[in-house]
Amino acid sequence: MEDSILLQQVRTKANVWLSDDYDVETRKAVQDLLDKEDTNDLIESFYKDLEFGTGGLRGIMGAGSNRMNIYTVGAATQGLANYLKKEFAALPQISVVIGHDCRNNSRLFAEKSADIFSANGIKVYLFPDLRPTPEISYAIRKLGCQSGICLTASHNPKEYNGYKAYWNDGAQVIAPHDKNIIAEVNKVSSVKDIKFKGNPALIELLDSTIDENFIRDLLTVSLSKEAIQRHKDIKIVYTPIHGTGITLIPKALKALGFENIIHVPEQDVISGNFPTVKSPNPEEAAALKMAVEKAIESGADLVMASDPDADRVGAAVRNEKGEFILLNGNQTLLIFIYYLITRWKELGKLEGNEYVVKTIVSTELIKNVAKKNGVKMFDCYTGFKWIADVMRQNENKRTYIGGGEESYGFLAEYFVRDKDAVSACMLLAEIAAWAADNGKTVYELLQDIYVEYGFSKEVGVSVYKEGKSGAEEIEAMMKNFRENPMKELAGSKVFFIKDFAKLTGTDIAENERVTLDMPTTSNVLQYFAEDGTKVSIRPSGTEPKIKFYIEVHSKINAREELAAADAAAIEKIAEVRKSLGI
């Protein structure tokens, strides 16, 4: 009965999309869905409306209210325009920045959005073609705009596209603006409410000045110019994986002083189909395969890959045997924070009010590095908008050093408010030069960090559950973990549980509860065991999956002990997974 009611609702909703208010192509696509005997695609396309999650609007492209198309993008843009006109009614001219990545339809969605903003009397600064997402954040701040959007689905498969909304500080929107924007979008009840007919006089194509200023400002973040000069010929392989990084990252590396940037020509080709990879995700070894092969062929020591919108970076370095290993997001985060704090200290820049930021699911070793060097560390929710929120809260109070997350995102500069693969690639290359200046490889530098601050191994496990039934299954899993909490992790007693949905922390031994100091609730559950093991569980805000983050710890006294510690950690993680049923 329930399924038949849902199908009836979906058909009613789909029939609205057959009116003359929609273009011919869309009407045909919807009719095809209605005519299909298998109703699954129809239901998936219309059973709900796309909503803002931790990364904004994101979904599979196609016809329907639950798909990315000019009408769902149009409704989001009209709703955002309506909200901006309310929030900034006193301004003589509201302005926004629009950028996009390499994905199919990204330029179309960007231009349609420009038309809608301009039709609402809002000035639009539109990038002439694809640009890294962090440059949109930079441009909002640089041009003094009230908002901005970027059409991107980051590292998702080619079927996806997305829509990130930014506020006037260059950060992605959070409460109350996110909910208020959604409320305005929901008021756009008909396609007739969307003003598609643009005003060309209010649309300005940006020139190369923003690019030049961005790179110039990024150069100010560098802390080891002499080391770069001495090791400017380090061989670095870089790949944009068909995405926006190709527009700026090679230029930025050369501007920093590196003279030996080696390309992967096949992956310099801009394409939303990502023809050389199954997934353009730098977290996955397969995405870096061609770059690593190029590094072996050319004798390079460092491989870097940015995702399609160039806000995340994956890296590979040579180990003690000269073999390439991929650094995971926690390792690059650890290396970045260690380097920045170390160099700030060496240069006499630490004055006692500095801070770093990490997400709650990222490695606890960051806390060790920060504490030992007298630097404040803030924990925040997953999603870079929360790191930006910490930056906002500490404005004119503390000095930002850097912040990042285990999902390969990092921000080294204060004048951007989103993760940035452009500066991260520059920083990683600089670290390689600085390590060489100290007689080390990047891998040996990582080993020495483990010796000094403790060894940890982190594994992320994603369990995919597609569609409406999958969402319900994920909800049931979270409910079960809350109602039947883990008592131990791989034989070590759980002593503390954090439930961010309730903002409560429970001390098991003392049977005491504390309130968690966070800006809002979030559907995240964390278990902490006596031996340092940490497990975090959260549904993804942008993909149909539930994520498990497992972190185990041990102490090593020399590089030579690392292999044994790693083997023991792998065994322990396997035990933890078994107890979690994953």
**Which residues are designated catalytic?**
154
Token representation of residue 39? 């109703």
CB atoms within 10 A of CB 344: 19
Torsions phi, psi of 136, nearest 5? -65, -45
Q: Which two tokens stand for residue 531?
A: 């031996």
Whether residue 413 contacts residue 368, with contact meaning beta carbons closer than 8 Å, is answered with: no
Report the distance separating Cα 362 and Cα 227, nearest Å.
30
What sign results for the dihedral spanned by CA atoms 157, 45, 55, 331? negative
Which helix (DSSP H) or strand (DSSP E) does residue 149 occupy?
A: strand 147-151
Q: Rounded distance, CA 574 to CA 66, Å?
A: 37
Q: Name residue, tokens 């179309």.
A: 108
- Are residues 399 and 351 in contact, defined by beta-carbon separation less than 8 angstroms? yes
CA distances to 180, 348, 461, 499, 506 from 524, rounded to whole Å, are: 23, 39, 15, 6, 14
Distance, CA of 89 to CA of 494 (rounded, Å): 53
Residue 413 burial (CB < 10 Å; 0-12/13-18/19+)? buried
Helix axes 209-218, 249-256, angle to 10 degrees: 50
Chain centroid, CA 17 distance in Å: 33
